[in-house]
Amino acid sequence: MRRAPQRVHRWTAGALAATALFLARPGPAGAVQLSGVLDLGAGSATWDRSGSGISLTRGALDAAYRAPAILGLSPEITGGFGASTDPAARTALRWDLGGRLSTLGPETGGWLAAAIGRAGVGAPSVGVSRLESGLRHTFGPAGLQLWVSRTAVGARTLPGGVSDTLSGTDTLAGRRLADYTDLGSRATIGVGGIEVAMLVVRRLGTAGLRRVAWETSAVWWLAPGVGLAGAAGHSLPQFGLAVPGARYGTLGLRLALGAEPRRRNREPPAPVAGVAPAVARLIVTPDHRLTIIGPPAARAEVRGDFTDWTPRPLVALGAGRWQLPGAVAPGVHHLDVRFDDGPWLVPGGTVSTDDGFGGRVGMVVVP
């Protein structure tokens, strides 16, 4: 759980949190489409180690570039940057660069990721490497992810050592600062405009590293692209950025940026461009809104006579549900949908008719 900036006074303090995750992917005509999620929140945190009055400010930015699918696999290039400072002007920095390869199954899939980088106080002089693999499966509106990761922080003798947490036993120095394995699980469920998630991570390693972290979080989407987010839990220490574990509770806003409005931070990637979903179904709600139910995807679009046949992104409702913002006028309408820049499809729940151009188009009657 990355939180930033955080201000800590002694053991318990108010906490301000801001995290950002961006995703870029190839768009039409060679353009690059950028989307992401920005979380802004406030709350309280009780650190696992006394800070003796130290305050801490931290920020993090992660980004990924998703390339077109190859052999049914979705490759991504990932990168991240983070920084933390305290009043003694100790600035900790970290950066990493890596890759992730995911399968494209609509309900079940897996991923394999690796990243290398550097981190440390004063300068990012400590090597960091991470290997991760995981599985995901959806059960109707619910989803489950399981993963294991191996992280090594520090690979050589360091001049003067590095403090990776505020104090105490989390201060590490020497050839190998930390070497641990995380076993993680995350369960999610989306009902209407509300998404709820439960996260549990068990860290395995030497006696000073073994911890269990958990988090319960929820997002209530008040409007397309704007959600009320809350979270409570106990985080793990983040070696290299001098952030100890903490019990915390936050409340804030989640802002969806660009074309991927509701993707949760650090979720495993969903099926991507060029792969047609197995099925998609259209539902017209009583208030004349078009809802599409489809396989897991990072992006869905609709085009039709109500958009002047220009693609318009759908807003994710969670659990494979997407909705066109605003009501559609009563009458006969024609439309197509697509997922992750794949081919345009006639969704189920519409009448497939000849479009006059050698293809098909969906027709729906909105009462």
> Could you tell me the CA-to-CA distances from 64 to 8, 150, 238 in Å, in that order?
30, 21, 21
279 touches another protein (CB under 8 A): yes
327 touches another protein (CB under 8 A): no
CA distance 66 to 33: 10
**Of 52-60, 71-79, 243-251, 348-356: span binding another protein (CB under 8 A):** 348-356
334 touches another protein (CB under 8 A): yes
Indicate the residue among 97 and 142 with the shorter CB distance to another protein: 142
Indicate the residue among 211 and 303 with the shorter CB distance to another protein: 303
DSSP 121-167: ESS--EEEEEEEEEEEEEETTEEEEEEEEEEEE--S--SS-EE-SSS
Looking up tokens 């995911």 gives 102
303 touches another protein (CB under 8 A): yes
Of 281, 289, 291, 325, the residue at the interface with another protein (CB under 8 A) is 281
280 touches another protein (CB under 8 A): yes
Indicate the residue among 54 and 302 with the shorter CB distance to another protein: 302
| Minimum distance, C-beta of residue 280 to another protein, in the bound complex (Å) | 7
159 touches another protein (CB under 8 A): no
DSSP 174-210: SS-SEEEEEEEEEEEEEETTEEEEEEEEEEESSTTT-
Of 83, 320, 324, 337, the residue at the interface with another protein (CB under 8 A) is 320
| Minimum distance, C-beta of residue 254 to another protein, in the bound complex (Å) | 24
| Local structure of residue 78 (DSSP, 8 states) | E
Between CA 71 and CA 221, with CA 107 as vertex, the angle to 5 degrees is 115
226 touches another protein (CB under 8 A): no
Q: Mask: binding to another protein, 249-278, rule CB under 8 A, as x and -?
A: -----------------------------x
68 touches another protein (CB under 8 A): no
309 touches another protein (CB under 8 A): yes
CA distance 336 to 304: 6
Indicate the residue among 208 and 348 with the shorter CB distance to another protein: 348
CA distance 138 to 142: 6
Looking up tokens 């860290």 gives 203
331 touches another protein (CB under 8 A): yes
352 touches another protein (CB under 8 A): yes
Token pair recorded at residue 297: 């995807």
Of 192, 295, 301, 315, the residue at the interface with another protein (CB under 8 A) is 295
Q: Please provide residue 113's backbone torsions phi and psi, each rounded to the nearest 5 degrees.
A: -135, 150
Which helix or strand (DSSP H or E) is residue 54 part of?
Answer: none
Q: Do 273 and 283 meet the contact criterion of CB atoms below 8 Å apart?
A: no
141 touches another protein (CB under 8 A): yes
Q: Is the dihedral of CA 290, 258, 130, 59 positive or negative?
A: negative
Q: Is 77 in a helix, a strand, or coil?
A: strand
| Minimum distance, C-beta of residue 19 to another protein, in the bound complex (Å) | 30
Q: Do 269 and 24 meet the contact criterion of CB atoms below 8 Å apart?
A: no
* Count of chain residues binding another protein (CB under 8 A): 35
338 touches another protein (CB under 8 A): no
349 touches another protein (CB under 8 A): yes
**Of 58-66, 150-158, 200-208, 308-316: span binding another protein (CB under 8 A):** 308-316
| Minimum distance, C-beta of residue 323 to another protein, in the bound complex (Å) | 15
308 touches another protein (CB under 8 A): yes
In 3D space, the residue among 190, 181, 258 whose CA is nearest the CA of residue 225 turns out to be 258
Q: Which residues bind another protein (CB under 8 A)?
A: 106, 140-141, 278-281, 293-295, 303, 305, 308-310, 320, 330-332, 334, 344, 348-349, 351-353, 355-359, 361, 363, 365, 367
